[in-house]
Amino acid sequence: LFQLEENRAACLGLTLSALQQQLSRLPVPFTLQQEEADEHGLCHCCIALAMFAKAFIDDLKRKEENCHPTAEEEAMKAEILKCMRSLKEPLLEAELNQNKKSTLWLFAAEIMQVSLPAIKEPIPGLLLFSSLKKFPMIDTSLSKESLACLAYLLFVQLITIDMFPAVFPVFILQCNMDHINQLLSKKESHLLKGLALFSKSLEKVEDDSLPVGLLDLKSFYNAPQVLTDCPFQHLRESGLKIFQLFINKLDVEAKHKFFCMLKTSHHAGVEGYIVKNIRNQMMESLNLLRYLLMQFQANMWEDFCRIKDDYLRMLRVSISMSRAYYSAEMKALKEDQRLKAKAKEKAKSTRLLRPITVKHDKLPHMSPEIQHQVLQSALVTFDLMESLIVRIDEI
């Protein structure tokens, strides 16, 4: 290729495409042990590809030091930019960890630290302004997945993060939502990266600061689907934590709009989660509703059917689910105490403290008496809320 005087860029492009096509056929190792074994030679091939591209990158650097780049050299840059394909295959499939710099992690670092800067493609421009679009020969779907992986490597794996300019966190979140949405719509390995990118994008945003206008982006509406549609429990649990983090970042108006959107899912678990987030306002709202019905009956009756269908029905379902959970905990605690009463003193002292789990959070160890009081208090609260709903129905 170096000996060619004409069409070197086109030949380089054909060579890179052929190499990466072969690379995409090799199975991707999922663990560090599989990477070290490199049974199918993928890691070795990635190193060879990086060395191959670096030879042409060094040649471009030498020529640019002496004169302005020619049209042929610009075409060479465009072809070398096709290394972005490797961000999709195999890096989107690989398990990357910045604390354990594996071969594939170093391959990603080579692309971001050497290849892209050498061809004068700044990462902020690629991510925030999509300058990749100026190369029409790279197909759109491929560039979207590659850019999503680029965002993951930058903000999660922190590769070249020290060269990224300080940007308003809300703007970063807004730009990353397209990349997050791209990752959340794919397979398990993509979902993990999408959730990690979503979490990192939210971390620096202040609580109660995201405006309602951001919810006009369709990408915000796809994230909750992980909680209801994903078949993998560990991904649903990770998604639930990020889901709560996102809710905490919304301002009051945005929270209201987001909860109204979630309510349309008609999913009992999602509706229960809405109740969890607004539980502090529930007793106040029920008392206010009862007062308004008693004092302003003529003006309230027209809206009462809508309130009953949209609010009270959902609240009844959520209270019923919560009461069933705490009742089961109470029954288990009583059974545990009954068994311990028959056991020896040693067994009694070691098994007396039974942990309670609420939404995967372990409560501190408590004596059976305190545990009983906590559970009973929760059940009483549910009874009070239910009684208020009954009184509203009676009115």
* Per-residue pLDDT reduced to its tens digit, 52-72: 888 888 888 887 777 777 787
Three-class DSSP category at 6: coil
Range 357-373 average pLDDT: 63
pLDDT at 207: 92
Q: How confident is the model at residue 129 (pLDDT cuts 50, 70, 90)?
A: low
How many whole angstroms separate alpha carbon 332 and alpha carbon 138? 60
The three-point CA angle 207-212-218 to 5° equals: 110
pLDDT at 131 over 60: no
Structure token digits, residue 197: 């990118």
Mark out the alpha helices in the chain (DSSP H runs).
Answer: 8-23, 32-37, 42-66, 71-80, 85-88, 103-110, 116-118, 123-129, 140-155, 169-184, 188-203, 219-222, 225-229, 233-249, 252-263, 268-295, 297-307, 313-342, 345-351, 368-394
How many whole angstroms separate alpha carbon 288 and alpha carbon 279? 15
Whole-Å CA distances, 103 to 43, 91, 166 = 6, 11, 30
Q: How confident is the model at residue 136 (pLDDT cuts 50, 70, 90)?
A: very low
pLDDT at 173 over 80: yes
pLDDT at 55: 86
Number of Cβ within a 10 Å radius of residue 140: 10
Range 148-174 average pLDDT: 88
Q: Which residue has the higher pLDDT, 13 or 202?
A: 202
Q: Sign of the C-alpha dihedral, residues 360, 366, 368, 371?
A: negative
How many whole angstroms separate alpha carbon 289 and alpha carbon 237? 35
* Percent of the chain residues topping a pLDDT of 90: 6
Q: Which tens digits make up the pLDDT trace of 80-100? A: 877 777 777 888 888 887 777
How many whole angstroms separate alpha carbon 72 and alpha carbon 75? 5
Q: Which tens digits make up the pLDDT trace of 188-244? A: 888 889 999 999 999 989 999 999 988 887 777 766 777 777 778 888 888 888 888
Residue 387: partners with Cβ closer than 8 Å, 6 or more residues away: none
| Cis, peptide link before residue 169, omega less than 30° from 0 | no
pLDDT at 292 over 70: yes
The three-point CA angle 202-205-208 to 5° equals: 105
**Number of residues assigned to the chain:** 395
Q: Which tens digits make up the pLDDT trace of 230-281? A: 778 888 888 888 888 988 999 988 888 888 777 776 676 776 677 677 776 7
pLDDT at 249: 92
pLDDT at 355 over 70: no
How many whole angstroms separate alpha carbon 395 and alpha carbon 392? 5
Range 368-395 average pLDDT: 75
How many whole angstroms separate alpha carbon 244 and alpha carbon 222? 15
pLDDT at 156: 92
pLDDT at 374 over 90: no
pLDDT at 361 over 70: no
pLDDT at 289: 78
Range 112-126 average pLDDT: 78
Got the DSSP string for 362-373? Answer: EPPP--HHHHHH
